[in-house]
Amino acid sequence: MSADKEKDGYLSGQLLIAMPGMTDPRFSESVIYLCVHNEGGAMGLVVNKLMGSLSFAELLQQMKIDSGATGSKVEVHFGGPVESGRGFVLHSTDYNSEETMRVNNDFALTATIDVLKSIAGGKGPADAMFALGYAGWAAGQLDTEMQNNGWLNCAADSGIVFGEDNEAKWKSAAAKMGIDLSLLTSDVGHA
């Protein structure tokens, strides 16, 4: 993260780690990659929860995209509860199109059918994660949730974001900060 990003207090390009006391079940034990965080709000993708009912190959088939060349290990993630029918590909920066939003030197976001066609054709980014929906916060909302101990943040790590072990991502992200989440309690205010 650049010094400017650190100074402005915004967390674009970082991971959010849900605290054990997270009251919203959609985000319980979630890890979210923050694509955008600025004065207008925040937008990110949950990187450790799968849709379960839909495979990437089935998605391509529904969209009438030939998936013959792909031996892709891309899975369909639950990106968040907002616009759950909209797809996003979080990926390494080796893929770029006019519609690609570069978050930083390691991560980019593309939300077009062309990136899906590229992945299906074996010409997509080296690392990619597909998500339906996203997590969104209005101006100041994420900041308030963080002040109320709903989230931790840490530097993003491609091994966590693109890793295949979704069950381990929550604890792995916290471990990057030296935190063992099993030692934290969700009880507040009682001694």
User: Which residue ranges make up each domain of the chain?
Assistant: 3-183
Residue 160's identity, in one-letter code, is I
Whole-number Å distance between alpha carbons of 79 and 91: 14
Phi, psi of 70 (to 5 degrees): -90, 125
Instruction: List the helix and strand counts (H, then E) for the chain.
Output: 6, 9
pLDDT digits (tens, 9 = 90+) for 44-54: 999 999 998 88
pLDDT digits (tens, 9 = 90+) for 62-109: 889 887 655 567 899 999 999 999 999 999 999 999 999 999 999 999
Task: Read off the pLDDT of each residue in 153-164 and give the average, rounded to a whole number.
Answer: 95
Residue 4: which pLDDT band, with cuts at 50, 70 and 90? very low
| Residue 12 confidence (pLDDT) | 96
H-assigned helices in the chain: 3-8, 56-62, 113-120, 141-147, 158-161, 169-175
Task: Read off the pLDDT of each residue in 161-184 and give the average, rounded to a whole number.
Answer: 90
Task: Read off the pLDDT of each residue in 26-30 and give the average, rounded to a whole number.
Answer: 95
| Residue 181 confidence (pLDDT) | 81
| Residue 182 confidence (pLDDT) | 77
Residue 127: which pLDDT band, with cuts at 50, 70 and 90? very high
- DSSP state, residue 145: H
0.95 surpassed by pTM: no
pLDDT digits (tens, 9 = 90+) for 30-41: 999 999 999 999
**Residue whose token pair is 């101990």:** 149
Structure tokens that stand for 107 in this block: 């991560």
Give the whole-number percent of the chain exceeding pLDDT 70.
89
Whole-number Å distance between alpha carbons of 165 and 48: 8
Residue 3 in this model has a pLDDT that exceeds 50? no
Whole-number Å distance between alpha carbons of 174 and 29: 11
Whole-number Å distance between alpha carbons of 184 and 168: 17
| Residue 73 confidence (pLDDT) | 77
CATH class, 3-183 region: alpha beta
Residue 191: which pLDDT band, with cuts at 50, 70 and 90? very low
Exposure pattern of 90-112 as b/e (b: 16+ CB <10 Å)?
bbbbebeeeebeebeeebbbbbe
* Residue 128 · residue 147 · CB < 8 Å: no
H-assigned helices in 63-161: 113-120, 141-147, 158-161
